[in-house]
Amino acid sequence: MSAESTENALSDEIIDDQDEASTDTDDNPKGSAASRLEEEGDVAADYLEELLDIADIDGDIDIEVRNGRTYISIVTEDETDSLDSLVGEDGEVLEALQELTRLSVLSATENRSRLVLDINGYRQERAGHLQKIAEDAAAKVKETGEAVALEPMSAYERKIVHDAVADLGLVSESEGEGAGRHIVVSAD
């Protein structure tokens, strides 16, 4: 049995144990929520594994549940850019894959998912870049007293910037709609 098969079997046992525990006590919603998130992770990992197989791309899938969300990472030890095509320019392909994965989870579980997909650490690298964007905008607002409008970004990226701006003691609001939704940073 491969390490991945063993991990999946152990994960299935954990989910089964949590399902039994949550049915034993109806007042334990936390156990059922954890079980639901683990199920999301398993469904998403199966979907992504099949996609990687079809595309003949090597990659390892890691599942982590934290802060009420399922985080799926696809990583590779290979230094070639085989996974870069799954990220795309400015993460566009990654965002599309994340949405398709969420739809797969919805189809299998009948529950909407807020899972986050990362490929080769793109989101972590992007978070550092977004932190810098927030710091630069905050510095400009403090220097000029004028509000600063940022480029449009995804909801996930806006959340990172909102948190960074708040940590810097300023205010941020999302404005616009659809693909044009962006953040405006101000002093009040």
The predicted-structure confidence for 73-95, as pLDDT tens digits, reads as follows 999 877 666 788 899 988 889 99
- Positions in the chain short of pLDDT 70: 1-31, 79-81
Number of folded domains that form the chain: 2
Residues 60, 51: contact at Cβ < 8 Å?
no
Query: Scanning the structure block, which residue is given the tokens 């009420």?
Result: 68
Q: How many CB atoms lie within 10 A of CB 19?
A: 16
Q: How many CA atoms lie within 13 Å of 80's alpha carbon, on the beta-carbon side?
A: 5
Mean pLDDT of the chain: 83
| CATH at residue 8 | 3.30.300.20
Domain that includes residue 171, residue range: 125-186
